[in-house]
Structure 1
Amino acid sequence: MRGFLLFLLLLIVGVSGVYSGHLLQYYYTAVTVPGHGLPEFSIIAYVDGIEIARYSSDVGRMVPVAPWMERLDPEYWERNTQRCRGNEAVSKHNVKTLMTRFNHTGGYHSAQWMYGCELRAEGTIKSYMQLGYDGKDFLALDTERWLYYPLLYQAQVTAQRWNSQELLQWERAKNYLESMCTDWLRKYLEYGKEELERRVRPKVKISDQTINGVIKLHCQVYRFHPRDVDVNWQKNGIDVPSYEAKHVFPNSDGTYQIRVTVEIPAEDREGHSCHVDHASLEEILIVKWEPQSSSNTLWIVIGVVLGGVTAIAAAGFIIWRKRLMLEAPL
């Protein structure tokens, strides 16, 4: 269970990389047994990785999360509440259908639905839509051919139904993703312009550990905004590959953090530096590793990371990787 929730968290926060466009994302989650901070059904909306609104079966209403979303009129919230309630009923039905497909008769199971649209800096639009079951990819929409394709054998029936001329589920998805999604993204960007466009310069701490003759170099980059960042280790100007995935985590103050770690031989103690590229910087920030640096910094870093994870968990473990009733019975 713990590993599954971490999997959901990583899908939300995403992988690092400097990004110059804007992204609107929705995450639906329906579970068979509520608990562990997760309601029976929830919908979370994000703009550029910032949570802007949410709906949960516990509350029964779509409510603003980002302060600037409170500027939308009451009719907006009532309209979306009704649509969320409709999606809640469909999602609960889909969980039961998926359990049948996988011959599951009880226990904890989940269905996750995620979709979104991206306005890229060069003016192009990219979108996606995907369904998952128990943390695994189940079904995805090809947004070039506008066809659903199964990612598991049990998804073939759904793909055939949703691609059929009778249901036209792909057409509803296409209309939403190519038009309404980007229209609303532009509106949200205007409402939240001050917050979304603010630039906060990252802070950087370097630490090291020596274990069994191998040195681990940690580059902790924290308290930066916006979310997207590129962090790499180099030795004398040549990239040193990281042995672990690069994940950006949110802080409680609306900023972000990331730690990038590499392993080097104990005798290799010269020429290493951490390179940080971020929208708030006029040029790449370079911090050199000094071998005599204290390892106490590592414990500070770990505390910051775990604090970010805890904050997400307390918020409700949100999800896996409307305006419309986009989700249909499976």
Structure 2
Amino acid sequence: MLFLQLLLLVVLLPGGDNKDDFQEPVSFQLIQISSFYNHSLEENLGSGWLGELQTHRWVSNSGTIIFLWPWSKGNFSNEEWMDLEDLLHMFSIGFLQIFHNSVSQRQLEYPFKVQLAGGCELHFGEASVGFIRVAYQGSDFLSFQNRAWLPSPNGGSRAQHVCTLLNSATVAREILHKLFFETCPRFLTGLLDAGKAYLQRQVRPEAWLSTGPSPGPGRLMLVCHVSGFHPKPIWVMWMQGEQEYPGTQRSDFLPNADGTWYLQVFLDVEAIEAAGLSCHVRHSSLGDQEIILFWERHNSMGLIILAVIMPLVLLTGLAFWLRKRWTYREFPSTSLPLE
């Protein structure tokens, strides 16, 4: 079987052991999303992720790996990466062929999508954990546990059929276990070592205030924007004096293109209560300091701008009116005499 052949290409790649420098569990996973349109047309997207940071992507048709960061190679040699490219290419062919075969055996129907995630997670002080999960049409379908493929509870007969095909390759299952439960942790520790300076960098956040859509008459939606910070953990809160103001809501963290993060913190308040509020930001890059933005100052700045602009608008209008009046007097309209 092609699936057995591709797994036999696995090479065990050495890694470092500096994971203790990172205080939270970290994971690396390969993700492939495949869209099956018919027996001869499919689309595959492949990527590699260190936690929430994408580190690799590849062109599935050729298996070419693209390194998104200078340290994405970890401590692997070029020869080892070439072997891995061959592995990924054959994996894409062999694994997906099983799903095409399932269609021909009337177990699946075109079109459909398959999502695969395989990798490992380091729990410091405990043994590392490998995992392989497969989803069909966005729902859990298969998983790899104890050297065997198992159908998900809601996978039904379709998942059982695919598991039977995969489990028929005994040697392949052993190599697959070695790849994700032994090789992956070593790869991950080497990647952490190579990217240590980047991953542990401290980038100070920038913060500013604005208003969102009005939640109702006499109310304001205050928005505190915080952007460009790294690492991800951050504390942002609307305060009244030294007390946290109840009702603060946070958006999801959004990634910036440079690997930093962006966050919005909202507060729905009575307009008359907004003047005494402030947004506080605490982050590891700030040390013992914090960023404090006072809404009353933000509001006062708006009044200052308004106070400057409005007289200029009035003066411009007055000048235009005077010029028009002067032009009328200088060149009054005259009536031509009738012949």
The Cα of 1:86 is off from its aligned counterpart by 1.4
Deviates more, 1:74-83 or 1:273-282: 273-282
1:118 corresponds in structure 2 to: 121
For the residue of structure 1 that corresponds to 2:257, the secondary structure is coil
Q: 2:182 aligns with which of 179, 182, 196?
A: 179
* Higher Rg: 2
Instruction: Work out whether 1:224 is the aligned partner of 2:226.
Output: no
The Cα of 1:265 is off from its aligned counterpart by 4.5
2:46 and 2:60 map into 1 onto residues whose CA distance is 9
Instruction: Work out whether 1:30 is the aligned partner of 2:38.
Output: no
Structure 1 gaps of 5+ residues are 1-17, 298-330
For the residue of structure 2 that corresponds to 1:105, the secondary structure is coil
For the residue of structure 1 that corresponds to 2:49, the secondary structure is strand
Structure 2 gaps of 5+ residues are 1-21, 303-339
Higher relative contact order (CA 8 A, sep 6+): 1
1:293 corresponds in structure 2 to: 298
Q: Which has the higher helix share?
A: 2
The Cα of 1:286 is off from its aligned counterpart by 4.8
CA contact (8 A) 2:63 2:86 kept: no
The Cα of 1:285 is off from its aligned counterpart by 3.5
For the residue of structure 2 that corresponds to 1:280, the secondary structure is helix
Deviates more, 1:171-180 or 1:253-262: 171-180
CA contact (8 A) 1:131 1:137 kept: yes
Instruction: Work out whether 1:247 is the aligned partner of 2:253.
Output: yes
Aligned residue pairs total: 270
CA contact (8 A) 1:148 1:162 kept: no
CA contact (8 A) 2:56 2:67 kept: yes
Deviations 1:263-305 (A, max 9, x none): 34545426655454544342473534505636x99xxxxxxxx
The alignment-based identity, stated in percent, is 20
1:41 corresponds in structure 2 to: 44
Question: TM-score by structure 1 length?
Answer: 0.64
1:280 corresponds in structure 2 to: 285
2:145 and 2:269 map into 1 onto residues whose CA distance is 41
Paired residue type of 2:253 = H
The verdict on how the C-alpha distance between 1:215 and 1:194 changes in structure 2, with shifts beyond 3 A counting, is: same
CA contact (8 A) 1:201 1:225 kept: yes
The verdict on how the C-alpha distance between 1:222 and 1:244 changes in structure 2, with shifts beyond 3 A counting, is: closer
2:129 and 2:118 map into 1 onto residues whose CA distance is 11
- Please, what is the CA RMSD of the aligned residues? 4.2
CA contact (8 A) 1:30 1:95 kept: no
1:195 and 1:23 map into 2 onto residues whose CA distance is 16
Deviations 1:123-156 (A, max 9, x none): 664554322233344344579x988451534464
Instruction: Work out whether 1:211 is the aligned partner of 2:196.
Output: no
1:141 and 1:238 map into 2 onto residues whose CA distance is 46
Deviations 1:76-120 (A, max 9, x none): 2210111111111134335546778886434xx321111332334
For the residue of structure 1 that corresponds to 2:298, the secondary structure is coil
2:124 and 2:279 map into 1 onto residues whose CA distance is 27
2:181 and 2:293 map into 1 onto residues whose CA distance is 45
Instruction: Work out whether 1:52 is the aligned partner of 2:55.
Output: yes
CA contact (8 A) 2:44 2:60 kept: yes
1:211 and 1:252 map into 2 onto residues whose CA distance is 32
2:72 corresponds in structure 1 to: 69
The verdict on how the C-alpha distance between 1:266 and 1:174 changes in structure 2, with shifts beyond 3 A counting, is: farther
CA contact (8 A) 1:27 1:113 kept: yes
Q: Residues 5-16 of structure 1: matches in 2 within 5 Å?
A: none
